Structure 1
Amino acid sequence: MNSAVLYIAISLDGFVAGPNDDISWLLRYNDVDYGFNEFFSGIGAIIQGRRAYEVEIKHGWETPIPVPTFVLSHHLPERNPQRSNVVFTDEDVSEVLKKAKQMTNKNVWIEGGANVAQQFLDRELIDVIVLSIVPVILGDGIRLFGKTHKMIEFTLREVRQFDKGLVQLTYIR
């Protein structure tokens, strides 16, 4: 059975981006092999927020192999013929996840950002969390985890250490 996987990088103090969506602190890790290709080989669909999608396009970080991608947005643009695998939707996240899971027998990547991750957590729709912790303290910005309506427990499955002090924690629900 496929899982919904939140796979995301955070600073030591829990931010996914600095002020004004600044992600420059991540750029020095572009040359670190932190298992992304291995992770992505198990992904059959992606769900992400509009801001995360725009940052990805801006930096040329399109996925290595196009997979169906759902972009959560209140503003639905015309379909992009150059990226026919991308669908903008304003549907509820549980419905989007249901559709994504029906399209593949592989895992669904909940790519982010923080607002999207929070929506999935609040509804207890995330099965696996993979946090790549970057050894930097930002002090301000966009926190990954906000308030939840109740405690949600996860179990640590794996800890991996990579170059430049990056640590990756994998939790399952």
Structure 2
Amino acid sequence: MRELVYYAAVSLDGRIAAPDGAFDAFPIEGDHIDAINAEWADTVPGPLYDALGLTAPRGRFSTVLMGWNTFAAGLPLTDDPYPHLEQIVFSRTRTAADVGAGVRLTADDPRGVVADLKAQDGADIWLCGGGVLAAQLRDQIDRLVLKVNPVVFGDGLPLFAGGYAPDVFVRERSRAFDSGVVMNEYRRA
């Protein structure tokens, strides 16, 4: 069965972006980037993958899920960020004219969409963000992969923007990089 994997960069204080949605405070150079490009190539946007001349195999994920704000962060560069994946963007206010041809925009309940996706054949499902969508899908997340960055935001968009409801995850792997980034992988207990 396919798993829903929330793979995201996060600050030391649990923020995935600044209050305005910017995420440029996260370091974009260092040995952690080499590991991402080699081991998590599906998460590198198509235009960047091509521009960097990457050849790392893809196939860890076959679908990416995004809330509108996460998708919109890339709009200055492309309206089709992950052409190698089935792309699903959740919004109740946008129309198909707001996304590229390779992107499915839906106002459907994310929980039902994920249940349907999990029942289909394919590689895992990447929950790219944001925090509101992650909060809606929290009980369906099978794995968390958090790139913990050595920066404190103080304020901003949280990893999960929802109410208090503890869920237990078990750490499977932790990998520290010279850049200061620590990649932690957890599985639902």
2:128 is aligned with 1:111: yes
* TM-score, normalised with respect to structure 1: 0.86
Matches of 2:29 and 2:183 in 1, distance apart? Answer: 15
The equivalent of 2:144 in structure 1 is 129
Q: What's the counterpart of residue 86 of structure 1?
A: 103
- Deviation of 1:150 after TM superposition, in Å, equals 3.0
Query: 1:32-82 CA distances to partner (integer Å, 9 max, x unpaired)?
Result: 22335423231010111000001023355923x52111100012313578x
Give the residue type in structure 2 aligned to 1:110.
Answer: L
In the other structure, the counterpart of 1:18 is 18
* TM-score of the superposed pair, with normalisation by structure 2: 0.79
- Structure having the higher helix fraction is 1
Contact 2:145/2:183, CA 8 A, preserved across alignment = yes
Aligned to 1:95: 112
Structure 1 unaligned spans of 5+:
none
Task: Indicate yes or no: 2:39 matched with 1:38.
Answer: yes
Give me the whole-angstrom Cα distance separating, in 1, the residues matched to 2:29 and 2:89. Answer: 24
CA RMSD, Structure 1 to Structure 2 (Å): 2.2
Residue 71 of structure 2 corresponds to residue 70 of structure 1: no
SS at match of 2:39: helix
Aligned-pair identity (%): 26
Q: Distance in 2 between matches of 1:113 and 1:59?
A: 19
Aligned length: 168
Cα 1:37–1:91 change in 2 (3 A) is farther
Go from structure 1 to structure 2 and tell me whether the alpha carbon gap of 1:163 and 1:172 turns closer, same or farther (over 3 Å shift).
Answer: same
Q: Is the 8 A contact 1:14 1:143 kept in 2?
A: yes
- TM-superposed deviation, 1:148: 4.0
Question: How far off its partner does 1:102 sit?
Answer: 4.7
Alpha carbons 1:11, 1:137 under 8 Å: kept: yes
Deviation at 1:169, TM superposition (A): 0.4
Gaps of 5+ in 2: 43-57
- Counterpart check, 1:9 vs 2:24: no
Residues 78 and 147 of structure 1: is their aligned pair in 2 closer, same or farther, counting only changes over 3 Å? closer
Q: Is the 8 A contact 1:7 1:131 kept in 2?
A: yes
